[in-house]
């Protein structure tokens, strides 16, 4: 009897870890793509993620349909990302790297204030009746939101893989990520590729934001903060600019965070522990999980 409970508990933790890892992966993949093409630490990505969650809620209330809300949030957030690139990062590219970093921080601070002013300082509920139920099998509870996240993440990553590997746009993006000057010489429209990256990255982050809002049934102004910082650490661990590395690191972090929170008594908060692991990993593998020496 005790054995079966244990197995159920482990399965439950596995489900939790998978959901958490998916969320991290969705924010890290955008950051990794953006770092790959522009070499910018896009701290304001956390703001885009939160914006996605608010937009999703807004569209859901306006249309009443979840798919419409998700797609709407992704498109608007994607356009928002493109605008950030066009009006904030592009003029700063020839300047020292710290300039774009500070601007990103400024943007991030001002975005969280914008959310507070527009949507109010209080936590908003994201009630979606169609996914509210939960499947309970052999002691493992899998909520509808978990299914949604797992399915959504799979769909997003398959689409992303297809776009990057099999479309001219993806080809251009990969070329720009490898070497911006050479890509330019080869006749690739660098600006359009970079905008594509920002559109895709921001849209995926918005998807993640909506999913987190549904999973925890809560949207608040600084929900993106810690996820965003962890995302930055994840792209370092994944090996800068390596998307697969970032995704791998995201799932590892999701797993490790769940396990350590459940089975250890290190006197650190969940986020502190995750950050400690990330710091240690960066120290011992500075080139990243999948990076080469």
Partner 1 sequence: MLNAYVITILSLMGIWSVVALGLHVITGLAGQFNLGVGVYMGTGAYTSAMLTTAAGFTFWEALPFSLVASALMGLLTGCPALRVREDSLAVLSIGLVFVFESLLVYLPYFGGPVGINHIPRAMLGGEPVGNWGYLAIIAGALAVAIAVCLYLRRSWMGLIWESIRENELAAQVLGLHPARFKLYAFTIGAALSGLGGVLYAHFIRYVTPYDFGFLPSVYVLAMVVFGGLGTVRGAVFGACFLTLLPEMFRFVQDYRNLIFGVTLVLLMLYEPRGALGDGSYVWRMLSAAWMQLRAVFGNGRPYASNP
Give yes or no for residue 283 binding partner 1 (CB under 8 A): yes
Residue 263 binding partner 1, by CB under 8 A: no
Q: How far apart are the first and last CA of the chain?
A: 49
Nearer to partner 1, 61 or 95 (CB): 95
Q: Does 93 bind partner 1 (CB under 8 A)?
A: no
Please tell me whether residue 92 binds partner 1 under the rule CB under 8 A: yes
Task: Report the SS3 class of residue 293.
Answer: coil
Nearer CB in complex with partner 1: 86/184: 86
Neighbours of 13 (CB within 10 A): 17
- 156 binds partner 1, rule: CB under 8 A: no
Binding of partner 1 by 272 (CB under 8 A)? yes
| Cα separation, 237 vs 240, whole angstroms | 7
Q: How far, in Å, CA of 279 to CA of 237, rounded?
A: 9
Is residue 269 a contact residue for partner 1 (CB under 8 A)?
A: yes
Instruction: Identify which range of 89-97, 189-197, 210-218, 251-259 contacts partner 1 by CB under 8 A.
Output: 89-97
Q: Can residue 127 be called a binding residue for partner 1 (CB under 8 A)?
A: no
102 binds partner 1 (CB under 8 A): yes
Residue 193 φ then ψ, to 5°: -65, -45
190-216 and 144-166 helices, crossing angle to 10°: 170
Q: Are 172 and 192 in contact (CB under 8 A)?
A: yes
Task: Pick one of 8, 11, 39, 174: the residue that binds partner 1 (CB under 8 A).
Answer: 39
Tell me how many residues contact partner 1 (CB under 8 A).
Answer: 45
Q: Any residues with CB less than 8 A from the CB of 241 and at least 6 apart, and which?
A: 32, 35, 36, 177, 235
Nearest to 54 by CA among 199, 212, 231, 227: 212
Of 3-11, 13-21, 210-218, 233-241, which segment contacts partner 1 by CB under 8 A?
A: 233-241
Instruction: Write the CA distances from 247 to 27, 66, 184, 229, integer angstroms.
Output: 9, 26, 28, 15
Single out the segment in contact with partner 1 by CB under 8 A; choices: 147-155, 162-170, 172-180, 270-278. Answer: 270-278
Query: Under the criterion CB under 8 A, does residue 50 sit at the interface with partner 1?
Result: no
- Specify the residue, 68 or 101, whose C-beta has the smaller distance to partner 1: 101
DSSP state of 267: S
Determine if 180 is a binding residue for partner 1 (CB under 8 A): no
- C-alpha span between 219 and 227 (Å, rounded): 14
Q: Which of 6, 7, 65, 106 binds partner 1 (CB under 8 A)?
A: 106
For partner 1, the binding residues (CB under 8 A) are 35, 39, 41, 88, 91-92, 95-103, 105-114, 117, 226, 229, 232-233, 236, 240, 267-269, 271-273, 275-276, 278-279, 282-283, 286
């Amino acid at each position: 009897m005790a054995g079966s409970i244990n197995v159920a508990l482990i399965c439950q933790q596995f489900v939790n870890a998978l959901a958490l890892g998916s969320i991290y992966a969705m924010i890290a993949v955008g950051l990794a793509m953006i770092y790959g093409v522009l070499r910018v630490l896009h701290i304001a990505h956390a703001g885009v993620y939160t914006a996605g969650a608010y937009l999703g809620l807004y569209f859901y209330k306006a249309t009443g349909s979840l798919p419409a809300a998700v797609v709407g949030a992704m498109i608007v957030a994607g356009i928002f990302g493109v605008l950030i690139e066009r009006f904030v990062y592009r003029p700063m590219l020839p300047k020292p790297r710290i300039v774009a970093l500070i601007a990103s921080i400024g943007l991030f601070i001002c975005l969280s204030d914008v959310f507070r002013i527009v949507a109010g300082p209080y936590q908003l509920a994201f009630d979606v009746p169609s996914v509210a139920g939960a499947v309970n099998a052999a002691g493992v509870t899998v909520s509808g939101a978990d299914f949604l996240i797992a399915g959504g993440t799979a769909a997003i990553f398959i689409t992303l893989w297809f776009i990057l590997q099999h479309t001219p746009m993806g080809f251009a993006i990969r070329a720009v990520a490898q070497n911006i000057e050479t890509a330019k010489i080869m006749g690739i429209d660098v600006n359009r590729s970079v905008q594509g990256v920002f559109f895709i990255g921001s849209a995926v982050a918005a998807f993640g934001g909506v999913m987190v809002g549904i999973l925890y049934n809560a949207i608040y102004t600084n929900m993106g903060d810690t996820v965003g910082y962890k995302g930055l650490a994840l792209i370092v661990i994944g090996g800068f600019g390596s998307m697969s590395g970032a995704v791998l690191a995201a799932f590892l972090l999701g797993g490790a965070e769940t396990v350590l929170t459940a089975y250890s008594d290190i006197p650190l908060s969940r986020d502190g522990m995750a950050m400690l692991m990330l710091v240690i990993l960066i120290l011992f593998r500075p080139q990243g999980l999948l990076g080469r020496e």
